[in-house]
Amino acid sequence: MSRSNWFSFNMLGLSVVPPHAVGVYGLRNSRGIVYIGKGELRSRLLSHLRGDNPEITKHRPTEFTFEFNPDPDDRERWLISYYMPPANKQFPKA
C-alpha cells in the first residue's frame, strides 16, 4: 500500500484513525498483507479486531495501514488484485 505508516493492530493503534473517516485499509502479519478492505475505517478495523471475520482472525494480523478515500471501490479492487491477500476470499479482476 502506498502509505508507509503501519500501526499496531490493537485498541491503542486504532486511536490514530479519525472517527468516521472513509477509505481503504490493509492488515498484515509477519508474512505480509493478509487482508484489504474498505469503508468507515475505524468501524471496520474495530470489527476485525473483535473477530468478525474468521478468515482474518486465522491469519493473526499484527499491524494495519490505511488511506483516506471518499470513493474507495476502485482502489480496493486494485490493491486486492495486486497483493492477493489470503483472507480476501475472491480476488476481483483488475
Identify the CA nearest to 67 among candidates 41, 46, 34.
Answer: 41
Please report whether residue 46 resides in a domain. Answer: yes
Closest CA to 1 of 35, 31, 30: 35
Q: How many helices (H) and strands (E) does the chain have?
A: 4, 4
Q: pLDDT tens-digit profile of 34-75?
A: 999 999 999 999 999 999 999 999 999 999 999 999 999 999
| pLDDT over 80 at 91, yes or no | no
* Position 93 in a domain: no
Q: What's the total number of domains in the chain?
A: 1
Question: Could you tell me if 21 and 48 are in contact, meaning their C-beta atoms sit under 8 angstroms apart?
Answer: no
Asked if the structure places residue 91 within a domain, the reply is no
> Does residue 1 sit within a domain?
no
Q: Is the pLDDT assigned to residue 84 strictly greater than 80?
A: yes
This prediction has a pTM of 0.91
Q: What is the pLDDT of residue 89?
A: 81
Range of the domain at 73: 7-12+21-83
Work out the mean pLDDT of the chain and round it to a whole number.
Answer: 93
First-to-final CA distance of the chain: 16
C-alpha dihedral (83, 44, 51, 2), degrees to nearest 10: 30
In a domain, 27, yes or no: yes
Task: Report the CATH number that the domain containing residue 40 is assigned in CATH.
Answer: 3.40.1440.10
pLDDT range class, residue 79, cuts 50, 70, 90: very high
Confidence of residue 90 (pLDDT cuts 50, 70, 90): low
Q: Residue 92 falls within a domain, yes or no?
A: no
Which residues, in sequence order, are bridge partners of residue 32? Answer: 29
Model pLDDT, residue 2? 57
65: in domain: yes
